[in-house]
A = this chain, B = another copy of it.
Amino acid sequence: MFKKWLKVFSQCDLFKGINPEELNLVFNCLKPKVSNYEKNDWVAVAGEKFTGLGVVLAGEVVVVKENAAGNRVIIAVNTPGEMFGEMAAFSGEGVWPVSVTARTACTVMFLPAGKIVGNCEMLCASHRLLVTNLLEIVSHKALMLHRKVEYLAIKSLRGKISTFLLENYKKMGKPTFLLPLKRNELADFLNVSRPSLSREMCRLRDEGVIDFHRESIKIREVNALRNMAE
């Protein structure tokens, strides 16, 4: 029944380390529900009862969050092998925190959260692996969010730029390196406007703290940067 999706499963972090035969046992145990959707169908609606961890098998879905103003903000576009609802699944909240719609005709598998963490009478090893994979995925996501919070909480543009540069300096190990983001991407990441970012970087250059040309950058005064971070 799930044979046709094996290729998808093989590149899905959720099933990492679980071979096809074991996967069959896991599915026997979890009894996932597979549903097909037409383009623009609702796969999940925010506020409604949580139906389970979603795994996209074919097509594409869009995860959207409705903010307080009622606007829809796209959180992610998920392609085959990707998941949605993994944070909500085990946090004890019983409803979808986001909505999911079909961007194209698609097929989605729902793994019931209760059965994933519930007592499986078979106690199969792979089922166990599934849970630890999930733990790893969610932990990773939490760390990413934590990092994002750190950047967003910095109030001055100088502080954001300095923090970003120092973090990259540390990662690269040398004071001259290539920025991993273009100006407008960096502006987005730091949650500031592009011209403001440009202006401030030039000021830093005028002050002799850094030097740059396009994506190549050189840190001249590490300590000055450190003083400005935070």
Contact = CB atoms under 8 A, between A and B. Distances in A.
A1 interface: no
A132 B117 contact: yes
Interface residues of A, number: 52
Contacts of A228: 69
Nearest to A192: B155
Contacts of A67: 150, 163, 229-230
Contacts of A88: 139, 143
Contacts of A150: 65, 67
Interface centre among A88, A135, A146 (most CB of B within 10 A): A135
Number of copies: 2
A227 B67 CA distance: 11
Interface stretch (A123-131, A179-187, A198-206): A123-131
Contact of A97 (B87, B91, B141, B143): B143
Interface string A111-136: 00000010100010100100110111
Interface in A130-178: 131-132, 134-136, 138-143, 145-146, 148-150, 152-153, 155, 162-163, 166-167, 170
